[in-house]
Amino acid sequence: MYTVQEVIRLVSTKKKSAQEIAAEYLERIGQKNTDLNAYVEVYSDVLEQAKKVDERLAQGEKLPLAGVCIGIKDNILRKGFHASAGSNILKPYVATYSSTVVEHLEKLGAIFLGRCNMDEFAMGSSTENSAHGPTKNPHDLSRIPGGSSGGSAAALAADLATVTLGSDTGGSVRQPASFCGLVGLLPTYGTVSRYGLIAMGSSLDQIGPFGVSVEDVETMFKAIAHHDPLDSTSVPISRRIIQGTQNKKVGVPFSFIEREGIDAEVLENFKESIDALKKKGYEIVPIDLPLAHYALAVYYIVMFAEASTNLARFDGVRYGLSVPGGTPNETYINSRGQGFGKEVQRRIMLGNYVLSHGYYDAFYKKAVSLRAAIIQDFQKAFQDVEFIAMPTSPIPAFALGEKTQDPLTMYLADIFTVPVNIAQIPGISVPSGKTKTGLPLGMQFLATQFNEAGLFAIGKDFENHG
Ligand code: GLN
């Protein structure tokens, strides 16, 4: 398994060409992808891209990511190629432009291997809600890899890419990272451009990298964290000011974590992880996040509302699948009825409900004011501590099919990840060990806005504790 640094070293010292590295990944994908279903498409031009990288190097171009092979989530656009967001409604869709992240990475010499599987429109925690079928966890093929970026996580964990990209609206990078033994980052909202990312919940979505080490994730983050005038919520570099304490204090919201529903092995592992941090010189401070347990309810109102609005554009006329009826209304009903899966339809209906006249005040408006209070909760905690630590997920990777009939228990598994998107702060999941049966677990660190550098520092200290 190559790290990003290893690929860069091999290619820059001419020990291997970008074409050789890409061919190695293609071969492994050929061997393993049928079982895992991590990629829904391997790009037809991988070797051509690699050849171009080799040519650019031969011409003396400096390419900081030369030969790094990347899998991208199926909701990130690459011009001229399909992007389906895991949905039947977008299966015929071909991107007419590239996302800003893809453009940046291409300039730096990266190679795109293909599109990784995901829950439809990023709605889910297991990658079972995909029109391309479920992805399996490489650590145990009877289990899910997490979601919604489960394909990106499984591809990397099986050594089918050097790094991968996912998107995180409520945990979709951090949770699959923890289930697959990887590092995953949710950048501060507004840091990475959302231009060319198929939208789910626009005030929550961020593209984030998966890596086998904190250093790899840091390298990728630096490559994609630019201001982008094409994304109106992209924060200009001059406004990315860190207001952290920088005191090596780690706040732990014990009463939020030690609740009913948390797996005993996860809790034990978390306590061991806390001890490891102490040994590394961090001071552990018990903190209170009194409103954090409302974040899940807030998330599942705000996100439904935003998703139902974003998905209104899929009308069977402008994009993708079209199932014509006798009247325009029939065309909408046919196309949306056949194009969207069950979970997406459920969220569109609930989103419209919370936004509708008479319910708007009771649900959406209340959720938005509670969101503001949760943000203040975090700000208060961060007055004293530089970081907050929590498990990434209350449970390890569950069995395929275990939660598909019960959406509510699936939503509950997001308890530790969604507050971070609600607060628009950054979070990183770092591997913290395994259960007795060998399932990976993850530790999550949070910091104030724009303090990704702090997260990389504590992540590296923690990663090396064993
Ligand atoms: N599991 C969460 C959901 O179903 C998070 C999804 C995400 O981050 N895209 O909404």
Alpha-carbon distance of 264 to 268, in angstroms, equals 6
For the chain, give the percent of residues with pLDDT over 90. 95
Helices 214-224 and 4-12 pack at an angle, to 10 degrees, of 70
122: which residues sit within 8 A by CB, 6+ positions away?
Answer: 75, 85, 86, 148, 149, 167, 169, 172, 200, 205
Q: Is the CB of 168 under 6 A from ligand 1?
A: yes
Residue 273 has pLDDT above 80, yes or no: yes
Residue 465 has pLDDT above 80, yes or no: no
Query: Looking at residue 188, what DSSP letter applies?
Result: P
Task: Please report the atom of ligand 1 found closest to the CA of residue 169.
Answer: 8
Residue 259 has pLDDT above 90, yes or no: no
Q: Tokens 């009913």 — which residue?
A: 260
Q: For residue 101, list its beta bridge partners.
A: none
Q: How confident is the model at residue 119 (pLDDT cuts 50, 70, 90)?
A: very high
Radius of gyration, CA atoms only, the chain: 21
Mean pLDDT, rounded, for 326-352? 97
Identify the weakest region by mean pLDDT among 85-89, 238-242, 248-252, 410-414: 410-414
Please report the pLDDT score of residue 319 as a whole number.
Answer: 85
Mean pLDDT, rounded, for 193-204? 97
Please report the pLDDT score of residue 381 as a whole number.
Answer: 96
Helices 295-310 and 342-355 pack at an angle, to 10 degrees, of 100
DSSP H/E element including 49:
helix 46-58
Q: Please, is 279 exposed, middle or buried when counting C-beta atoms within 10 Å of its C-beta (0-12, 13-18, 19+)?
A: exposed
Q: Tokens 């974040």 — which residue?
A: 295
Please report the pLDDT score of residue 466 as a whole number.
Answer: 59
Task: Please report the atom of ligand 1 found closest to the CA of residue 300.
Answer: 10
Residue nearest to atom 10 of ligand 1 (CA): 123
Alpha-carbon distance of 206 to 196, in angstroms, equals 12
**451: number of CA atoms within 13 Å, CB side?**
23
Q: How many A from CA of 415 to the centre of ligand 1?
A: 11
Greatest alpha-carbon pair distance for the chain in Å reads 70
Please report the pLDDT score of residue 139 as a whole number.
Answer: 98
For the chain, give the percent of residues with pLDDT over 70. 100
Q: How confident is the model at residue 321 (pLDDT cuts 50, 70, 90)?
A: very high
Q: Is the CB of 148 under 6 A from ligand 1?
A: yes
Alpha-carbon distance of 171 to 442, in angstroms, equals 12
28-50 tens-digit pLDDT: 999 999 999 999 999 999 999 99
Peptide bond before residue 87 is cis, with ω within 30 degrees of 0: no
387-436 tens-digit pLDDT: 999 999 999 999 999 999 888 888 889 999 999 999 999 999 999 999 99
Enumerate the active-site residues. 73, 148, 172
Residue 330 has pLDDT above 90, yes or no: yes
Q: For residue 285, list its beta bridge partners.
A: 251
Alpha-carbon distance of 315 to 329, in angstroms, equals 9
- Domain 4-239 fold is Amidase signature (AS) enzymes (3.90.1300)
Amino acid at 353: Y
Please report the pLDDT score of residue 261 as a whole number.
Answer: 85
Mean pLDDT, rounded, for 444-451? 98
The answer to whether 302 and 294 are in contact (CB under 8 A) is no
Query: Looking at residue 199, what DSSP letter applies?
Result: P
Please report the pLDDT score of residue 298 as a whole number.
Answer: 97
Angle among Cα 3, 9, 11 to the nearest 5 degrees reads 105
Report the mean per-residue pLDDT for the chain: 96
Q: How many A from CA of 11 to the centre of ligand 1?
A: 37
Residue 244 has pLDDT above 80, yes or no: no
